[in-house]
Amino acid sequence: MAETPVLKGWTAIASYLRLPVSTVHRWVRDGMLVQKEGRFVVADRAALEEWIGRESHMKKPAHVQTGDSDIFAVLKESLTVVRDKK
């Protein structure tokens, strides 16, 4: 089943980021983008990754690890970024 690019609700956003809902609330106060859609909040996965990347001073959006992600490719890319900073 393909993942939708939009997350609906605090719980869905927190689950995607693998964080407690209270942390997601704090990050929104710090500038992470979510939008009100009726009585729900929604967030775009790509926008979340871009915001996390900017907050982490990364050159590219952050990669949120999901069940179908290639962890070795992500690790290799992260190590390359660290080496380039030296």
| pLDDT at residue 66, rounded to an integer | 64
Report the number of distinct structural domains present in the chain. 1
More confidently predicted of 48 and 79: 48
- What is the share, in percent, of the chain residues with pLDDT greater than 90? 44
Higher pLDDT, 25 or 65: 25
For residue 1, tell me if it sits in a domain.
Answer: no
* Residue 15 included in any domain: yes
Residue 16 lies in a domain: yes
Q: What pLDDT does 1 receive?
A: 44
Torsion angles phi and psi, residue 50, rounded to 5 = -65, -45
Q: Report yes or no on 68 lying in a domain.
A: yes
The residue range of the domain holding 24 is 6-85
